[in-house]
Amino acid sequence: MAKLIYSAITSLDGYVANRDGKFDWAAPDDEVHAFVNDLERPVGTYLYGRRMYETMAGWEHAETFADQRPVMQDFAKLWKAADKIVYSHTLEKVSSARTRIERELDAEAVRRMKASAQQDISIGGAELAGQAIRAGLVDECRLFLTPVIVGGGKRSLPDHVRVKLELLEERRFENGVVYLRYSVT
């Protein structure tokens, strides 16, 4: 059975984007990016909300990036090799291979996907992940705490839900980022 994993780069005060929707402060350096790549290797499917998908779809054509750092090219290969499901009421077409659109998150369909998948499943986008957390679908939370306070914006974790977590792993990076991995109990 595959795990459903929510990963997010978040500010120290718990936001994935500031009030203006910006998240430039979240760009990982090579050390963090290489670590993220290693975490992503077992992922076979990405579940995204529309906004997260539109952000991530740039990896489909990563060869056009001005920055050709090996760590970025490695991530692009991982991303392109995985299946993607975009949950959106408004998106009409996708711009990447191995991608399909679903109109809403169906908890039972995700449970069946987890039961039959050979590789782990990643869920991205705070709103979609919040729905999955509320539905009891998420098995692990992987948070990268960035040493910045943004003072408001889009929260990394949902409000009005209580979930017990068990710390499985932690790591500190040279740039001050702290990685925390929790199982949902």
177 three-state secondary structure:
coil
pLDDT for position 63: 75
What is the pLDDT, as a whole number, of residue 66? Answer: 61
Pick the CATH number of 4-143+153-184 from 3.40.50.10860, 3.40.430.10, 3.30.300.30, 3.40.50.970: 3.40.430.10
pLDDT tens readout for residues 107-126: 999 999 999 999 999 999 99
Per-position DSSP letters for 116-127, written without gaps between them = H-SSEEEEESHH
| Whole-number pLDDT of residue 61 | 86
How many angstroms separate the CA atoms of 35 and 47, rounded? 20
Q: How far apart are CA 44 and CA 60, in angstroms?
A: 16
Identify residue 182 by its one-letter amino acid code: Y
Residues of the chain with pLDDT under 70: 65-67
Specify the length of the chain in residues. 185
Amino acid in position 105: L
How far is residue 98 from each of residues 42, 53, 120, 150, measured CA to CA in Å?
17, 13, 16, 35
